[in-house]
Amino acid sequence: MTFSESYRDPQLVTKTIQKIHEITTQPWVIMEICGGQTHALMQHGFDELLPPQIELVHGPGCPVCVTPLELIDKGIAIAQQPDVIFTSYGDMLRVPGSEKDLFSVRAAGGKVKVVYSPIEALQIARNNPDKQVVFFAIGFETTAPANALSVMKAKELNLHNYSMLVSQVRVPPAIRAILSDPNNRVQGFLAAGHVCSVMGYHEYIPLAQEFHVPMAVTGFEPLDLALGVLETVRALEKGTSEVVNAYPRGVVQDGNRSAQDIIAQVYESCDQKWRGIGTIPNSGWKLNIGYADFDAENRFDVGQIQTRESEICISGLVLQGRKKPFECPAFGTLCTPENPLGATMVSSEGTCAAYYRYHREDN
Residues 182 and 235 in one domain: yes
CA distance 192 to 29: 17
CA distance 91 to 143: 15
- Average pLDDT score, the chain: 92
Angle at 311 between CA 306 and CA 312, to 5 degrees: 150
Domain extent at residue 47: 3-62+171-245
Residue 250 in any domain: the answer is: no
215-218/243-245 β-pairing = parallel
**Considering the chain, what percentage of its residues have pLDDT values greater than 90?**
71
Residue 79 in any domain: the answer is: yes
Q: Would you state the pLDDT for residue 277? A: 84
Residues 145 and 120 in one domain: yes
147 and 118 Cβ atoms separated by less than 8 Å: yes
Q: Give tens-digit pLDDT for 296-339.
A: 998 998 866 667 667 788 888 888 888 889 999 999 998 998 88
Q: 348: pLDDT confidence band, cut at 50, 70 and 90?
A: confident
Residues 81 and 139 in one domain: yes
Residues 45 and 70 in one domain: no
Residues 69 and 118 in one domain: yes
**Considering the chain, what percentage of its residues have pLDDT values greater than 70?**
96
CA distance 135 to 206: 35
Residues 165 and 198 in one domain: no
Q: Is the pLDDT of residue 219 over 80?
A: yes
Q: Is the pLDDT of residue 362 over 50?
A: no
Q: 363: pLDDT confidence band, cut at 50, 70 and 90?
A: very low
Instruction: Report residue 319: phi and psi, to 5°.
Output: -65, -20
Residue 310 in any domain: the answer is: no
Q: Give tens-digit pLDDT for 108-124.
A: 999 999 999 999 999 99
Q: Would you state the pLDDT for residue 359? A: 67
112-114/84-88 β-pairing = parallel
122 and 150 Cβ atoms separated by less than 8 Å: yes
Q: Give tens-digit pLDDT for 48-97.
A: 999 999 999 998 888 888 998 889 999 999 999 999 999 998 888 888 88
Q: Give tens-digit pLDDT for 149-194.
A: 999 999 999 999 999 999 999 999 999 999 999 989 999 999 999 9
27 and 55 Cβ atoms separated by less than 8 Å: yes
Give the length of the chain: 363
Instruction: Give the mean model confidence (pLDDT) for residues 233-245.
Output: 97
Residues 180 and 161 in one domain: no
Instruction: Give the mean model confidence (pLDDT) for residues 187-205.
Output: 96
Residues 104 and 145 in one domain: yes
Q: Would you state the pLDDT for residue 360? A: 45
Residues 148 and 272 in one domain: yes
Residue of 151, 141, 148 whose CA lies nearest to 175? 141
Q: How many distinct structural domains can be found in the chain?
A: 3
